[in-house]
Structure 1
């Protein structure tokens, strides 16, 4: 799968004792990705993060299925259905499906008909995906290919969940998401008790595979997800690393 990278613009309060994310600005693809985490199966989360990273007992369920012997499984049941479910929700657009794991390849759609369709009009009413089945109308074997034609319609899942275009969204440190507005953002500064406006900085970050995994993990364990993922990557560093994408805001002194 080709590497996918999303972006998010953080508003960082760099005041002591340590920096924190006040809120972030994100577009459609990033928001679709964040919302699609709600549809991630638990088994996928364990597989992506590793059993040692899981809080609670869900990892024990995963290990139990791994160790379960075939004699105890129902005929036709597979461990992969639980251990390797496909992610993420189709509500995320292909560009933002950062953590998708390849599922089993889907077989091409094949349908069959009998050869009597020209003689018995009722035969035309029947097709099957079981090659060699008997036609309900004439009893002949249904072995002749019928071509499946896709409608070509773009599904709602492929469109994603939120509107794009000019719309942008505010993402809080604890992953509350709502349409961005200047009024709500100013109110947010007061809500999180920002006292020194001159300490605010913009920091543009990229969300690739590693950051996507980190967001999944932090969302299950923390109320400061963006701060944990983007400002505390390096355990030995007490301040966020600055790059050319970081700049102080023209507020305060």
Structure 2
């Protein structure tokens, strides 16, 4: 649906008696956000979901890279790029970056570092990792330098028409995040498949999705097929 203060609104049809979400009614913004999940690098997902709270071992791989000293990494490897990979904003379309990570379209100056000692031969080396060791004198390379962008560099913008799905269309989002175009027939068919007999028990619930809800949706998508019910009706057993 629409956007409010950097958030996306989603209208849910809820079965009050069964305490479950039948489906959500969404516009392009929400569907683009949802489909963008599949383009997230694994490192970004681990960081967003917190490595200490993840089920399985991916969090431990993340922690291993995080704690690995630069001496053991290949010279051309920047740990920050591995742990916090930047994602292109083109697939987000006009959708707010609800998950809060940086895209690779940012025009902020890159921070560079040189040797803290600054002997003659040391000036030939720079790095993006302040924990790197100078190949010339073995001192840490933590003296800050700033890469200044050249003139005429415009801020990257996301053009209209980008993203995944077309606008001016209403989409039906299932409790398990399956998406299909909205239609009267599909709505009636869905109510029949859920065996909803008491139509008076149906109600609409409009929710706003910000960063907290976005991360919660990403996390819930790994552990349940009742994502919308889990998030917005507080059904922790979903």
Same fold (TM over 0.5): yes
In structure 2, runs of 5+ residues without a counterpart are: 110-149
In structure 2, relative to structure 1, the CA distance for the partners of 1:154 and 1:85 (3 Å cut) is closer
**CA-CA distance at 1:24 after TM superposition:** 0.6
Alignment of 1:1-253 (within 5 A): 4-16=6-18, 19-87=19-87, 90-102=90-102, 106=107, 159-165=162-168, 167-232=169-234
The whole-number CA distance in structure 2 between the counterparts of 1:153 and 1:107 is: 14
Equivalent residues of 2:43, 2:84 under 8 A apart = yes
**Range that drifts further, 33-42 or 185-194:** 185-194
Provide the C-alpha distance between the structure 1 equivalents of 2:89 and 2:179, rounded to a whole number of angstroms: 18
In 1, Cα distance between equivalents of 2:205 and 2:51:
32
| Paired residue secondary structure (1:171) | strand
CA contact (8 A) 1:87 1:100 kept: no
Deviations along 1:104-144, whole A, 9 cap, x unmatched? 75478xxxxxxxxxxxxxxxxxxxxxxxxxxxxxxxxxxxx
Preserved contact between residue 13 and residue 21 of structure 1 (Cα < 8 Å):
yes
Answer yes or no: is the 8 Å Cα contact 2:32–2:164 preserved in 1: yes
Measure the CA separation in 2 of the matches of 1:103 and 1:88.
5
Residue 71 of structure 1 and its aligned partner are, at CA, apart by: 2.0
Do the aligned partners of residues 88 and 57 (structure 1) sit closer, same or farther apart at CA in structure 2, a change above 3 Å counting? farther
Give the count of matched residue pairs: 192
What is the Cα deviation at residue 86 of structure 1? 2.1
Q: Are the aligned partners of 1:37 and 1:88 in contact in 2 as well (CA < 8 Å)? A: no
| CA shift digits 1:146-187 (9 cap, x unpaired) | 97688x99768x62111112x100000000001100001111
Q: Distance between the aligned counterparts of 2:9 and 2:228, measured in 1?
A: 13
TM-score (norm 1): 0.67
Distance 1:3 1:81 in 2: 30
The whole-number CA distance in structure 2 between the counterparts of 1:67 and 1:205 is 39
CA distance in structure 2 between the partners assigned to 1:201 and 1:154 by the alignment: 36
SS at match of 2:98: coil
What SS does the corresponding residue of 1:95 show, helix, strand or coil? coil
Q: Does the C-alpha gap of structure 1 residues 154 and 11 become closer, same or farther in structure 2, counting only changes over 3 Å?
A: closer
- Are the aligned partners of 2:33 and 2:95 in contact in 1 as well (CA < 8 Å)? no
Gaps of 5+ in 1: 109-145, 239-253
